[in-house]
Chain A
Amino acid sequence: MKRILNSMPLVAFGILVAVLYSFLNQENEQLESVLVDQSVPEFKLPSLENPNNILSKSSVNKLPALINVWATWCIACRVEHPFLMQLKNESTLTVYGLNYKDDRNKALELLANDGNPFEFSIFDQQGKLAIDLGVYGAPETFFVDINGIIRERHVGALTQKVWKEKFERLLNEETDV
């Protein structure tokens, strides 16, 4: 009995190490979005391409679609850029850009050099629409279904793997109906 009791601190410590170790490789960066199953928020913002063109929720009308939050200062956005180009070329899905707290000229330059995967980009310099979307870091990607309802959100670069895991199923649902 005494031996068991004496070994308890070691056992407890072992359990603690095991529990903490199991958290190490977990991706806890992903906060769940409260926007899922909600409609796209209303907004009034200029387009990136033309400051005089004021866009609103009704401009996002080719559904289903992705809304991709991007910026030139965001490194992971460059990582996912080729995949967005691939989506544009190979998929029926529309991709809308939300240019987030960026410099207009730099953003236009990047699209001119690397290709523009977006139907259009909303120019959100103050991050107003981004706050309404619960954005906390670029890149973020939202899937909007045919009724204008947000169905999924991903924080971080959109890769082939993420696409397969989180978004492909949603697109298939939409096109089956």
Chain B
Amino acid sequence: MFKSFFTLMLVTIFCNLVSANEPQVIYPFEDSVHEERFLSLLNELRCPKCQGSNLAGSNAPIANDLKREVYGLVKSGKTEEEVKAYLVDRYGNFIVYDPPFRPDTYALWFGPLFIFLITLSLILVILLTRFSNSKRNQ
């Protein structure tokens, strides 16, 4: 009894998973090199609407349009660089996750280094105080 209930539950879950992914368009390729290039581009390009995800992970209308555009470009024999340049010309560096180096993006570029240096100096200070304290106690 319990077992059959469990099976039914699993079946229900999987049915839902399948239907949730339903509106996927198939992009057929004859050339496997092209297909690989297409798939890797979808992973590397960012969706302009839902800015947290890449094209592969988004089902937004604009993401689907861009997928179709990339599909057409790759099928016509464009290289990865050419496709990226094409999209950067229209959507900016944003779409290839490549922020420009400008005063308003300095925090982005130097932030990690800054935090690293602060953390490093804090650790040093803490270690040094402990060291001198233990020396004093001896």
A interface residues with partner B (beta carbon < 8 Å): 1-2, 5, 8, 31-35, 101, 126-127, 130-137
Contacts and interface: CB of A to CB of B under 8 A. Distances in A.
Q: Is the interface of B mostly helix, strand, loop or mixed?
A: helix
A34 B92 contact: yes
B125 A35 contact: no
A34 B129 contact: no
B66 A131 contact: yes
Interface in B75-131: 88-92, 94, 122, 125-126, 129
B89 A34 contact: yes
A34 B92 CA distance: 6
A137 B89 contact: no
A153 to B, nearest CB: 11
A8 B69 CA distance: 51
11 contacts: A5-B122, A31-B48, A31-B91, A34-B90, A127-B61, A130-B65, A131-B69, A131-B90, A132-B90, A134-B90, A136-B62
A135 B87 CA distance: 12
